[in-house]
Amino acid sequence: MDDGTPIGRRAFAGFVGVGLSSLAWGGAAMDLLAQSTKLVPESMRSALPFGKGWRIYAVNPPHPRFDPATWRLRIDGLVERPQTFTYAQLQALPQARQTSDFVCVTGWSVDDVRWAGVRFDDLLATARPLNSATALKFISAEQPYEDSLTLAQLRAPDAMLALQMDDAPLQREHGAPVRVVMPQMYGYKGVKWVSRIVVTDRVEDGYWQQRGYDRDAWIGGSNGR
Ligand SMILES: Nc1nc2c(c(=O)[nH]1)N[C@H]1C(S)=C(S)[C@@H](COP(=O)(O)O)O[C@H]1N2
Ligand SMILES: [Mo]
């Protein structure tokens, strides 16, 4: 899944005619160049790693590695039948598509991200949440990152567990193989590297709520904005 990265960097270095080591290129530097310089045509900008304005966030490097042979998504808690999905089984569920903007509470955003993935009703269909269930807790393989959303919030038409971003499998740095996408809320609700979903009857404070951010992260309607 990292295939595009070295190619993108080579293509970029070749285009501007400099021989900088790829090690010198942090995501932020790539962003600045890709967005500010008129030397880089739009067609090439979209091919660059992080070129659309993404900042890669993680709380506990290195990023988890995705091995399709061993990776599993566990769904348990208040369900009739706990589930363990392989990646292939997730791919076999109905795949929804959407284009939505992504907004981080710290001020950066990425417009028109193309996502594909599974709606939560489809994801939970075989597990069958109990009547007492009201929320999902998403646990990242990157411990201790986690966050929760209510089932009502997750019924938003643009909420999904994403397998793809911009027509390609989710890249490692963006949370491969699956991340939560909740476009009406700030990005911190979108847990990357999701490895377990616990069906619960109460919303718990997630990683950033424990550090002072609002539980309900509505864009423009939370965190003092
Ligand atoms: N596991 C995990 N998920 C995470 C984070 C993180 O640090 N670790 N950061 C969150 C925040 S604050 C934002 S804005 C987005 C950033 O997504 P990106 O790293 O794909 O740009 O991921 C969210 N999900
Ligand atoms: Mo964020």
pLDDT tens sequence across 179-212:
999 999 999 999 999 999 999 999 999 999 999 9
> Which residue puts its alpha carbon closest to atom 18 of ligand 1?
56
pTM (two decimals): 0.81
Which of 56, 57, 105 should be mutated for ligand 1, with most atoms under 8 A from CB? 57
Q: Residue 88 above 80 pLDDT?
A: yes
What would the pLDDT profile of 127-172 be if each residue is shown by its tens digit? 999 999 999 999 999 999 999 999 999 999 999 999 999 999 999 9
Binding site membership of 145 for ligand 1 (Cβ less than 6 Å):
yes
The answer to whether 50 and 27 are in contact (CB under 8 A) is yes
Query: For the residues 16-23, what does the mean pLDDT come to?
Result: 34
Burial 19-57 (b: 16+ CB within 10 A, else e): eeeeeebebeebbebbeeeeebeeebbeebbbbbbbebe
Residue range 64-211, CATH number: 3.90.420.10
Query: Where do the H-state alpha helices sit in 17-48?
Result: 27-36, 42-45
> What does the alpha-carbon distance between residue 19 and residue 73 come to, in Å, rounded to a whole number?
42
Binding site membership of 189 for ligand 1 (Cβ less than 6 Å):
no
The answer to whether 62 and 142 are in contact (CB under 8 A) is no
The domain limits of the chain are 64-211
> What does the alpha-carbon distance between residue 38 and residue 1 come to, in Å, rounded to a whole number?
29
Residue ranges near ligand 2 (ion) with Cβ within 5 Å: 104, 187-188
> What does the alpha-carbon distance between residue 87 and residue 80 come to, in Å, rounded to a whole number?
22
> What does the alpha-carbon distance between residue 15 and residue 218 come to, in Å, rounded to a whole number?
40
Query: For the residues 209-220, what does the mean pLDDT come to?
Result: 96
Residue, of 104 and 46, whose pLDDT is higher: 104
What would the pLDDT profile of 23-39 be if each residue is shown by its tens digit? 334 444 444 444 444 44
Q: Residue 1 above 90 pLDDT?
A: no
Residue, of 4 and 61, whose pLDDT is higher: 61
> Which pLDDT score is estimated for 216?
96
**Phi-psi region for residue 12, left (φ > 0), alpha (ψ -120 to 50) or beta?**
alpha
